[in-house]
Amino acid sequence: MKRNPTKCKEMLIKFLHNDNFLLRSIVIPDNTIECITKYKILGVFMKDNLTWNDHVDYILKKSSKKIYSLRVLHRAGVEPANYI
């Protein structure tokens, strides 16, 4: 199996509330793997401290956009059967 270092990311999980944690990079010949603090995988936002705040904010923002578009359609007089 061949690795593609340009697509690889590294995330270190931190259970301590200590921010003195040093981020290091893994070096593969001619490439370094980026160390990140949050990442979206399979539609879920993962964060290095394993909190759901970013994912919940994303879902709320996405749902409020859809609710707003339904309000606009309702005000315009569009029948609910024609929303989709």
The answer to whether residue 32 is domain-embedded is yes
**Predicted local distance difference test score (pLDDT) of residue 20:** 60
Query: How many angstroms separate the CA atoms of 73 and 82, rounded?
Result: 9
Give the H/E segment covering residue 58: helix 53-75
The answer to whether residue 42 is domain-embedded is yes
The answer to whether residue 45 is domain-embedded is yes
The answer to whether residue 2 is domain-embedded is no
Domain containing residue 13: 9-76
The answer to whether residue 81 is domain-embedded is no
Q: Which two tokens stand for residue 68?
A: 């707003």
Q: How many domains does the chain have?
A: 1
**Predicted local distance difference test score (pLDDT) of residue 22:** 62
Question: What average pLDDT values come out for the chain (84 residues) when binned by 10 residues?
Answer: 80 72 70 85 89 92 94 90 75
The answer to whether residue 82 is domain-embedded is no
**Predicted local distance difference test score (pLDDT) of residue 35:** 83
Please compute Rg for the chain using Cα positions.
21
The answer to whether residue 3 is domain-embedded is no
